[in-house]
């Protein structure tokens, strides 16, 4: 057992009660750094009560103090003799009752934004069945008209690291199969860390940029002069006598 029990609730407590960095908390709780940042921003784990790792014999105060003093210090789980030899239970992902109603929305999000994922990958990510996924793909689900796509990470149904791993696996499979991908599809296959590390796209110039000056053409040379804004609004005088004649 190398991760704390109730990892997300433990992360909530550490965010609320310590000054440990998001990366340190993410490494200790087995979460993605963006998930921890989402907890701090109130976008993830809403309504989750913090789980004190000190009173529950998972961390020592000395360990927390050391992590607060040094951003590079990695939190170490307190040794628990009762957990020695414990094996991870294999089987379908368990989804709490309070979140099961959100699974169709998360499946719709995955089908829409990551169509390269297989039904098996989606079933593993959100803990659902292949017939349910197929009905949403074919839009024959009984509640399809009321569903809206929602990120499963935001709903707490899977971790960002798990989604990134599934997307990267799908990318490798497509490359191995020789299936051509568009630039838009390749951007979707990037992990969160790769997207954040990528160079920002150049901004499209606005329509007014470059119009601060205009060019006057001569016989042999060109010269630029600033635009006189007042000249654009000065209209020729109207002869009052002409108006009277009419």
For the residues of 35-98, what is the DSSP string, one character each?
HHHHHHHTSSSTTPPP--TTTTTS--HHHHHHHHH-TTPPP-PPP-GGGTT--PPPSSPP--HH
pLDDT confidence bin for 225, thresholds 50/70/90:
low
- Decide if 214 contacts 225 (C-beta within 8 A): yes
132 and 54 both lie in a single domain: no
Number of domains in the chain: 2
pLDDT of residue 121: 92
Is 88 within the bounds of a domain?
no
User: Is the pLDDT confidence value at 214 over 50?
Assistant: no
More confident residue, 146 or 191: 146
Mean pLDDT of 82-106: 66
Q: State how far the Cα of 119 lies from the Cα of 42, in Å rounded to an integer.
A: 31
- Top pLDDT among 190 and 123 is at 123
The per-residue pLDDT for 42 is 85
Instruction: Clarify whether residues 68 and 120 are in a common domain.
Output: no
What residue numbers bound the domain in which 110 lies? Answer: 98-194
The answer to whether residue 158 scores a pLDDT higher than 80 is yes
- Is residue 217 situated within a structural domain? no
Q: Which residues pair with 224 in a beta bridge?
A: 215
One domain for residues 74 and 107: no
Please compute, for residue 222, the number of CA atoms within 13 A of its CA located in the half-sphere on the CB side: 4
Of 4-18, 73-87, 216-230, the poorest mean pLDDT is in 216-230
pLDDT in tens, 108-125: 999 999 988 999 999 999
How confident is the model at residue 94, as a pLDDT? 65
Q: Which residue has the higher pLDDT, 146 or 56?
A: 146
Q: Which of 56, 83, 110 is the last residue of a domain?
A: 83
More confident residue, 218 or 118: 118
Band of pLDDT at residue 90, cut at 50, 70 and 90:
low
Report the pLDDT value the prediction gives residue 24, as an integer from 0 to 100.
92
Assessment of whether the complete model's pTM goes beyond 0.75? no
Give the integer Cα–Cα distance in Å for 139 and 122: 16
How many helices (H) and strands (E) in the chain?
14, 2
How far apart (Å, rounded) are the C-alpha atoms in residues 169 and 116? Answer: 10
pLDDT for position 43 = 85
**201 vs 182: CA distance, rounded Å:** 17
189 pLDDT tier (thresholds 50, 70, 90): low
Query: Average per-residue pLDDT in the chain?
Result: 76
The two structure tokens encoding residue 5: 């029990």
My answer on whether 155 and 104 are in the same domain is yes
Based on the fold, state whether residues 117 and 77 are members of the same structural domain.
Answer: no
DSSP label at residue 216: E
């Amino acid at each position: 057992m190398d991760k704390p029990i109730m990892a997300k609730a433990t992360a909530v407590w550490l965010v609320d009660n310590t000054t440990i960095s998001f990366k340190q908390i993410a490494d200790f709780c087995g979460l993605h750094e963006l998930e921890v940042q989402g907890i701090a921003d109130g976008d993830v784990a809403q309504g989750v009560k913090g789980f004190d790792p000190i009173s529950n014999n998972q961390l020592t105060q000395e360990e927390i103090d050391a992590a607060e003093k040094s951003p590079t210090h990695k939190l170490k789980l307190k040794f628990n003799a009762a957990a020695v030899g414990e094996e991870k239970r294999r089987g379908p992902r368990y989804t709490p009752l309070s979140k099961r109603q959100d699974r169709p929305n998360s499946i719709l999000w995955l089908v829409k934004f990551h169509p390269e994922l297989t039904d098996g990958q989606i079933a593993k990510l959100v803990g659902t069945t292949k017939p349910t996924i197929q009905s949403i793909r074919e839009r024959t689900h009984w509640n399809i008209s009321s569903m809206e796509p929602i990120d499963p990470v935001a709903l707490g149904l899977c971790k960002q690291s798990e989604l990134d791993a599934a997307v990267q696996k799908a990318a490798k499979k497509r490359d191995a199969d020789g299936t051509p991908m568009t630039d838009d599809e390749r951007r979707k296959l990037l992990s969160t860390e790769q997207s954040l590390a990528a160079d920002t796209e150049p901004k499209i110039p606005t329509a007014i940029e470059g119009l601060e000056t205009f060019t006057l053409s001569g016989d042999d040379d060109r010269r630029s002069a600033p635009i006189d804004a007042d000249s654009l609004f000065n209209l020729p005088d109207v002869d009052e006598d002409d108006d009277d004649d009419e």
